[in-house]
Amino acid sequence: MHRDNYKAKLDASQYKLTGQRATVLEVMIRNRGKHLSAEEVLQQARLLRPNIGIATVYRTLEKLASLEILYKGMFDSGKYRYELADDREHHHHHVVCVNCGSITEIKDDLLCELEKNIEKQGFRIVDHDLKFFGYCPNCTKS
């Protein structure tokens, strides 16, 4: 998805497209595919806008996640990470390397059948979150 579409999405929301928000969004776009913590977003945002505050970063990430522009997830220990979420894809699958900590996105989706099974038991499923833990190709070699 293009930069402008994200901005348009934010613009069309109940929130104002302020400079700070555009900056946070810009950081996320430039790091497409990565999973950044709030602190990491702050550091990169300060390169573009030196006196943006941590509270604004948190507030903006939260808003962007509520607009589903970002996906907010907990991967390793104790802090949230954010990534660009293309609206079509609600499902996030990741492989977390237990050796180097790298997080790789995977696309394959065989879960529909499993979801259907669960729905037979009376649930209505709206989303899922799947993480694999193992060794990434790099760490498998050594």
Partner DNA sequence: TCCTCTTTGATAATAATTTTCATTTAATAT
Partner DNA sequence: ATATTAAATGAAAATTATTATCAAAGAGGA
Q: Which residue has the tokens 């497409």?
A: 32
Q: Which of 4, 51, 133, 142 binds a copy of itself (CB under 8 A)?
A: 133
Among candidate residues 1, 23, 26, 21, the one with its CA nearest the CA of residue 10: 21
Under DSSP, the state recorded for 92 is: E
Using CB under 8 A as the binding rule, whether residue 127 contacts a copy of itself is answered as yes
Across-strand partners of 104? 95
Nearer CB in complex with DNA: 92/115: 92
Using CB under 8 A as the binding rule, whether residue 58 contacts a copy of itself is answered as no
Number of residues that bind a copy of itself (CB under 8 A): 32
> Measured in whole angstroms, how far is the alpha carbon of residue 61 from the centre of its chain?
10
Tell me how far, at minimum, the Cβ of 5 lies from a copy of itself, in Å. 25
Tell me how far, at minimum, the Cβ of 7 lies from a copy of itself, in Å. 28
